[in-house]
Amino acid sequence: MIGTHQPDSLGRFGAFGGRFVPETVMAALDELQAAVNEALADPAFHAERDALARDFIGRPTPLYYAERLSEAVGGAQIWLKREDLNHTGAHKINNAVGQALIARRLGKRRIVAETGAGQHGVAAATVCARFGLDAVVYMGLEDTRRQRPNVVRMHMLGAELVPVTAGAGTLKDAMNEAIRDWIASVETTHYMIGSAAGPHPYPLLVRELQAVIGDEARAQLLDRAGRLPDAVLACVGGGSNAIGMFHAFRDDDVRLIGVEAGGDGAQLHAATLGGGRVSILHGSRSYVLADGEGQVLETHSISAGLDYPGVGPEHAHLKETGRAEYVPETDEAALVAFHRLCRLEGIIPALESAHALARAERVAASLPPAAIVLVCLSGRGDKDVDAIADREAVR
Ligand SMILES: *Cc1c(COP(=O)(O)O)cnc(C)c1O
């Protein structure tokens, strides 16, 4: 049931991906892979997933023509895939629901997860409440401070939240701790990774669970506009909303543009594909932001959800083959795009998504009015409003 563009038998997308994990985890990954293959071939799995997508998540999400934004930008039509309207406010829930069903098939009742902005932690806590599973969420201490509302939500949903003080206290450090827990508890525990990264089969599994974004958007646009888009854009942290959006358009004559976090612009702070080197991080070979000695660098972005020094291996492959382009947008550019969407369309986007919007405006401005630019609006900005208000009050 897995479509085209599969990794090879070692889980590699070209030169990227694979499995770089301790022996004890190998067996668990084999077991997971078998369960994934079985689930994806089982109509009962798809029927349950579809019912949850409809009644619990709220799918299909709308496709929205941003008419006033398009007019203001003065070029192509800008269309938004509204993943911000999902239950819990972002695309992360698509993955969490699917992985909860897989965990149940594996007979595992304890879930560990990492989270950056807290969106994946909230999604994991949500599905664990829904399925009666124990949730343990690792979150960097710095992120627990800048994403307070999501910390409160996770507690309310009954998850155990473990603040991580190692490193800079951000997503990379939380992921290290979640993997450490999983290695020690692999018999009883499923590791619910939050992005299209990590060892095989996670990048493939997460892509399959997020591909609904592009599948829906492609069909909706054909139905509404009668044609495919000229360009498709999505922000890239670990790469799950982007790969979920891009997958349906892989074989079409459509530009695929991934937008990374350029931080304050002084360096490409979290732009892994733009400024990284090929290395191994979190069990997989891909681009990594590291120094000359291979030490992983601390990243910085205004958006916690893009603040990750790695990137999913399939994006590395898409970059290497030239099928997709990866470009940075700065904190400032994302903020400008954030406010423009608020004021012109009445939609408060996540800061992560605002990076994709910033580039979408530039691309749209360079195209004629008949052209179509499709953007994945990966999440809503409720979690970000306090941080933005604080930042702008001091200027
Ligand atoms: C987590 C998150 C991202 C980044 O994660 P990807 O795996 O790259 O999609 C982007 N947008 C929002 C709203 C998020 O919550």
Catalytic (active site) residue 352: no
Q: Is the CB of 90 under 6 A from ligand 1?
A: yes
Same domain, 230 and 288: yes
User: So what's the pLDDT on residue 291?
Assistant: 86
Average pLDDT of the chain to the nearest whole number: 94
Boundary residue ending a domain (206, 232, 265): 206
Determine the structural domain holding residue 223 and report its residue range.
57-89+211-391
Same domain, 249 and 153: no
Same domain, 378 and 293: yes
In the chain, how many domains are there?
A: 2
Pairing between β-strand 160-164 and β-strand 134-140 as defined by DSSP bridges:
parallel
Same domain, 200 and 141: yes
pLDDT tens by residue, 59-72? 999 999 999 999 99
Same domain, 82 and 41: no
Asked if pLDDT for residue 395 goes beyond 70, the answer is no
User: Considering the entire predicted model, what is its pTM?
Assistant: 0.96
From 81, 301, 378, 383, active-site residue: 378
Spatial contact of 236 and 246, defined as CB atoms under 8 Å apart: no
Asked if pLDDT for residue 91 goes beyond 80, the answer is yes
Same domain, 137 and 111: yes
Boundary residue ending a domain (164, 180, 206): 206
Per the omega criterion (within 30 degrees of 0), is the bond before 201 cis?
yes
Residue 30 falls inside a structural domain: yes
- Using only the alpha carbons of the chain, give its radius of gyration: 19
Confidence of residue 146 (pLDDT cuts 50, 70, 90): confident
Residue 311 falls inside a structural domain: yes
Confidence of residue 1 (pLDDT cuts 50, 70, 90): very low
Classified as helix, coil or strand, 240 is: helix
Pairing between β-strand 77-82 and β-strand 63-65 as defined by DSSP bridges:
antiparallel
Q: Is the CB of 92 under 6 A from ligand 1?
A: yes
Same domain, 265 and 381: yes
Which ligand 1 atom sits nearest the alpha carbon of residue 194?
A: 7
Confidence of residue 267 (pLDDT cuts 50, 70, 90): low
Residue 214, both tokens:
């592009």
Q: Is the CB of 176 under 6 A from ligand 1?
A: no
Same domain, 223 and 346: yes
Residue 297 falls inside a structural domain: yes
Residue 2 falls inside a structural domain: no
Same domain, 244 and 107: no
Residue with the larger pLDDT of the pair 393 and 103: 103
Spatial contact of 380 and 237, defined as CB atoms under 8 Å apart: no
User: So what's the pLDDT on residue 305?
Assistant: 83
pLDDT tens by residue, 339-370? 999 999 999 999 999 999 999 999 999 999 99
Distance CA 306, CA 268 (A): 12
Distance CA 204, CA 359 (A): 27
Mean pLDDT score, 326-349: 98
Whose CA is closest to 46, among 102, 123, 84, 109?
A: 102
Same domain, 130 and 266: no
62 C-alpha vs ligand 1 centroid, how far in Å?
Answer: 18
Boundary residue ending a domain (180, 206, 232): 206
Pocket perturbation via mutation, ligand 1, pick of 195, 236, 303, 375 by most ligand atoms within 8 A of CB: 195
Label residue 88 left, alpha or beta by phi (over 0 means left) and psi (-120 to 50 means alpha): left
Which ligand 1 atom sits nearest the alpha carbon of residue 241?
A: 9
User: So what's the pLDDT on residue 240?
Assistant: 98
Per the omega criterion (within 30 degrees of 0), is the bond before 22 cis?
no
